[in-house]
Amino acid sequence: MEAEGITQTEVTVRKVGGSVGSEKELLDSSSSGSGSSGRRAGEDKEKGGAFEYFGWIYHLGTNSIGHEYCHLRFLFIRGKYVEMYKRDPHESPGIKPIRRGVVGPTLMVEELGRRKVNQGDVYVIRFYSRLDETKKGEIACATAGEARKWMEAFDHAKQQAEIELSTGRSPRNRLSIENEIDLEAHRPKMRRYAHGLKRLIRIGQGPETLLRQASNLVGNVKSDGFFEAESEDVIEVHQWRCVRTVNGVRIFEDVSNPKSDKGTLIKAVGVVDASADTVFDVFINLDQQQRYEWDTLTGDLELLDSYDGHYDVLYGTYDPKYLTRWKSNRDFVFSRQWFRGQDGAYTILQFPAVHKKRPPSSGYRRTKINPSTWEIRNLSAPMGSATARCIVSQMLEINQAGWCKWKQNSCAKFEKTIPYALLSQVAGLKEYVGASPALRVESSTTVVRSKFSDASMSPIDYDDAEVNDEFYDAIAGESSSSSDEEEGSSKNSHSKKDGRVKLKNVSWAIASLALKRNSAPGAEETLDLNVPPVIIEPSEFKGSLHKGKDEKDSNCWTSPNGSGFKIRGKTYLKDNSKVVGGDPLLQLIAVDWFKVDRAADGVAVNPKCLLQTAAGKQLPFVLVINLQIPAKPNYSLVLYYAADRPVNKASLLGKFIDGTDMFRDSRFKLIPSIIEGYWMVKRAVGTKACLLGKAVTCKYLRQDNFLEIDVDIGSSSVARSVIGLVLGYVTSLVVDLAILVEGKEEAELPEFVLGTVRLNKLKPETAETLEV
C-alpha cells in the first residue's frame, strides 16, 4: 500500500493522544488517548449561522492502476458543503481544497468498524448514495470516538441540506432529488459559498500540534437524530439486586426467577471518569503492557482473525498461579463482537470459540471462557461540569453453587475462578482510567446544537453557486496523482454575515418546516372520524405465517398491546419522561414469511399479495413493513397493518405517509424486545428505540391504499452481524416489535404505537418461496 507516493516501508502514521499524526509517523495502535474534539478559540463570537466541523482524517481508496492508498487529509464541513485539504487551512490561509462536494439528502453514512491499515488499526466510515451504491467513498479515523463524531457531523450536514430542500432554497435540487451528479463528471470551478459561519468544532487533534482548547459548553449535548434519553424503551424483565460492593464496583444478581435450574445471571457495574469512547478504546486495545495494568485474565492476547470491522477472534493464555488451583498452563479462544447504538452506547459480546489457527496444544489446558456482555454508556454531566463519565456494565452467567457461597462470604475459592476474574475487569478499568490523567482529559463535545428562533424560519444564506457534486463523488476519485488535486495559491476567503436562522435543534427545524399546524392530533385524531369504519374480517386475509392460538403455539405471530413498551410522553421535551404504550392504532391483519434469492422490494404490488385481492383493495389504508433479512437464503418478514378508516392527512401519520423519504427516514421508529430467549441475544438486540432510516437503508413505495417500507437490514454491517446472531437462536426466541412515528415537537406528543407484533419461535425452513 502506498501513501502520498512513498512506499510502505518509508511511510507510517502515528496516533498520539487519540489524534491523527503526520504521514511520516508511525500509526501506533497501542498509543493511548481518546478521540476527543475541541473548538478553535475565538471562533464562536457571532450569533446564529451554520456550524463548521474540521479535523484530520485518512482518505482511503484505490487509484487508477489498482494501488490502495491511505492519505492524511484535513476535512472541513461547512453547512451542507464539504472540503478536503492536504494541509490545515488555518495554518495555510491561501490553500485551495483538493476535493469538495455537497452532502445531499440521499447520502448514507455507514460505520464499517476497525480495519488494519499500514500496520495499525483505523475506524472506517463509508459514504454512498441511497439511489446508487456505486457512488461511494471511504474515510478513516484513528479512534472509534472520532469516527462517531464525524458521523454526527455528517448527519448535521445532511439535516442542513434537508432544511434547504424543504424550504425551496435549492430549486435545482428540488426538480429531481434522484438526478445526482455522475462520479466521472467534471468538477466545476470552485467559488466562495459559505457565509455566517458561527462555530468551529474540531474533531481529533492536529498531526503535529496537540493543543486542547478549553470549552464553555456544559450539560448533556446530544446528537440530534442519533439518540434520545438514557432510559430504556422496553419494560425491564430482569430484577437486579445488589449483593456485594467490591472496590467501588457493585455486583448484581438477577433474582427475577430464583427457582430456575439454569445458571445465575450476574453483572458488575461501575462508573468510570472518562467518555464511553475512551473506555471502549482501552477495552478493545490488545496492547499487552496496557492490558497488564487492568486485566487479570486476558492480558496476553493474540488476534487470530477479524471480520466486517466489528468481529474478531482472539487467542489468550494466563498464568495459573493467579487463578485456579491447577498448576498447568491455561489457554483459551474467544470471539468479540461489538457495535455502537444510536444512543452512543457500545455493546460488546464475548463468546467462547474455536479456530483452526489455534487448536488445543500440548502443555496447555484449554479453558472455556464464560459468555459475557459489556455495555459502555455515557452519563450526563452535572450542570456546570465538563467532566466526562460513563457507566460500564459487564454481565455473565455462572454456576449457582460457588456463587451462592461467595455472596454469603463463606467461599473464598470463588475469587480464584474465571468468572470472578471477568467481574474484576470492570474494577480494573475503573482504576486504570483513574490513574491515567491523559485518558480523562476531554475537550468540548463534538455535536453542538444551534438555537432556532421562533420569529424567523428562513435558512442561512449560502451562495449555492455550481457546487452540486455529492460528497461521495468528491472523495471517490483517484487521489493525488489526479490533476484536480493540485493545490492553488489563491486565497479561499469566507465572508461573514449575520444569519437569519438560530437553530435550536436541527431535527426539530426540519419537522417544524414540514409539519406546521395549529393543534396536536393524537391517536384518536389520526384517523378520519367522519368516515364510517370498515369492518376488517381477519379470515379474509391469510399470510404464509399463521396466527398463534395461544402462548404455547410456535412458528406463529400474535399482536400484543403496547404495554410492554415505553414511548415519549406529553412532557418529553421538558423532562424526557416516557409513558407505557397503549393499544396499537393499526390492526395487524397478516404476516408473510418468505425466502428469496435476493432482497425483494415492492412485495405489496406482487399479484399474489393479499393487498391485490378484492378484500385488500377495499381497506382504507395499509402500512406494509417488509423486513429484508440477509442470510442463505435471504428472508423477508412482511407485516400488514390496516386502518379501518382513512388517515387524516393533517395528522403526523398522514404527513409520514405522503411525506418525503428524508422525512420518513427521520421519523420511522422501531422498538425491539426479546421476551424469551438466550440472554446474550437479548443484550445484542437491546431495548432501545431505533430510527431505522438512519441505521439501515429504507425504501418507500406509496401507491393506491398502502405505503410499503422495505427495510434492508443487510445494508449495515452492524445490523447484519446482529441479525446473524438472532437467526442462530430464532427457533427459541419470542420477539416483540413496536412500530411508531417519532414525535419531535410538543404538538406531536404524546407518541402512540402504530402497530405491534409478537414472533413466537420462528422456523426458517417453513418460509415460503416468493417468486418475483
768-769 vs 587-596, strand pairing mode = parallel
- The answer for residues whose C-beta is within 8 angstroms of residue 133's C-beta and 6 or more apart is none
Question: Can you tell me which residue has the cell 442561512?
Answer: 460
Is residue 623 very low, low, confident or very high in pLDDT (cuts 50, 70, 90)?
Answer: very high
Predicted confidence (pLDDT) at residue 555 exceeds the cutoff of 70: yes
Which grid cell sits at 561?
A: 398491546
Say how far apart CA 575 and CA 690 lie, in whole Å. Answer: 20
H-helix or E-strand spanning residue 122: strand 120-129
More confidently predicted of 323 and 54: 54
Task: Supply 190's cell numbers.
Answer: 470552485
Separation of CA 213 from chain center: 28
What are 264's three cell numbers? 445465575
**What integer is the mean pLDDT of 400-413?**
64
End-to-end CA distance of the chain: 43
Chain-centre distance for alpha carbon 342: 4
6 near 21, Cβ under 8 Å?
no
pLDDT at 495: 39
Question: What pLDDT is stored for residue 438 in this prediction?
Answer: 82
Cβ atoms < 10 Å from Cβ of 355: 14
CA distances (Å), origin 771, targets 116, 369, 675, 703: 41, 45, 33, 21
pLDDT at 201: 57
What pLDDT sits at residue 409?
62
Top pLDDT among 125 and 20 is at: 125
Do residues 766 and 555 lie in contact, with contact meaning Cβ atoms separated by under 8 Å? yes
Rounded-to-integer distance, Cα 108 and Cα 446, Å: 20
Three-state SS letters, 357-420: CCCCCCCEEECCCCCEEEEEEEECCCCCCCCCEEEEEEEEEECHHHHHHHHCCCCHHHHHCHHH
Contact predicate 270/426, CB 8 Å: yes
Higher pLDDT, 394 or 772: 394
**Spatial separation of the C-alpha atoms in residues 221 and 217, rounded to whole Å:** 8
Q: Helix, strand or coil for residue 741?
A: strand
Q: What mean pLDDT do residues 131-156 have?
A: 85
pLDDT for position 412: 62
pLDDT digits (tens, 9 = 90+) for 582-607: 999 999 999 999 999 988 999 999 99
- Could you read off the pLDDT of 336-370 as tens digits, one per residue? 999 888 888 999 999 999 999 999 988 888 988 88
Q: Give the pLDDT of residue 260.
A: 63
Query: Are 196 and 312 a contacting pair, CB within 8 Å?
Result: no
**pLDDT higher than 70, residue 504:** no
**pLDDT-derived band at 157, boundaries 50, 70, 90:** confident
Q: Which range has the worst mean pLDDT, 90-104, 194-208, 557-571, 640-654?
A: 194-208
pLDDT at 398: 84
Question: Could you tell me the sign of the dihedral formed by the alpha carbons of 696, 697, 702, 706, in that order?
Answer: negative
Query: Is the pLDDT at 628 greater than 80, yes or no?
Result: yes
Pairing of strands 311-318, 300-307: antiparallel
Which residue has 447484519 as its cell numbers? 720
The C-alpha cell of 64 is what? 487508477
Asked if residues 265 and 254 have their Cβ atoms less than 8 Å apart, the reply is yes
- What is the pLDDT at residue 737? 96
Q: Residues 30-35: what's their mean pLDDT?
A: 32
Q: What is the mean pLDDT of the chain?
A: 76
Give me the pLDDT at residue 257, please: 73
89-123 pLDDT per residue, tens: 988 888 999 888 888 877 888 888 888 887 788 99
The residues near 765 (Cβ < 8 Å, ≥ 6 apart) are none
Cross-strand bridge partners of residue 53: 77, 201
Average pLDDT over residues 542-569: 93
Confidence of residue 552 (pLDDT cuts 50, 70, 90): confident
Residue 532 has pLDDT above 50, yes or no: yes
Those residues whose C-beta lies under 8 Å from the C-beta of residue 558, and which sit 6 or more positions away, are 547, 548, 757, 758, 760
Ranges 313-327, 373-387, 459-473, 688-702: which has the least confidence:
459-473
Q: How confident is the model at residue 427 (pLDDT cuts 50, 70, 90)?
A: very high
Give the three cell numbers for residue 578: 416516557
How do beta strands 249-254 and 240-246 pair? antiparallel
* Three-class DSSP labels, 577-631: CEEECCCCCCEEEEEEEEEECCCCCCHHHCCCCHHHCHHHHCCCEEEEEEEEECC
Q: How far is 594 from 764, CA to CA, in rounded Å?
A: 9
Local confidence band at 130 (pLDDT 50, 70, 90 cut-offs): confident
User: Chain-centre distance of CA 640, in angstroms?
Assistant: 27
Query: Taken in order 728, 734, 740, 746, is the CA torsion positive or negative?
Result: negative
Task: Yes or no: say if 713 and 719 are a contact pair by the CB < 8 Å rule.
Answer: yes
Q: How far apart are CA 181 and CA 2, in angstroms?
A: 29
CA 159 – CA 178 distance, rounded (Å): 17
Q: Residue 50: is its pLDDT beyond 70?
A: no
Residue-wise pLDDT for 209-260, tens only, equals: 322 222 222 233 343 333 343 467 887 778 899 988 888 899 999 888 766 6
Residue count of the chain: 772
If pLDDT is split at 50, 70 and 90, which confidence band does 202 have? low
Nearest alpha-carbon partner for 571 in 563, 579, 581: 579
* Cell numbers given for 707: 405505503
- Strands (E) across 204-299 are located at 240-246, 249-254, 264-272
Average the pLDDT over 118-138 and give the result. 82
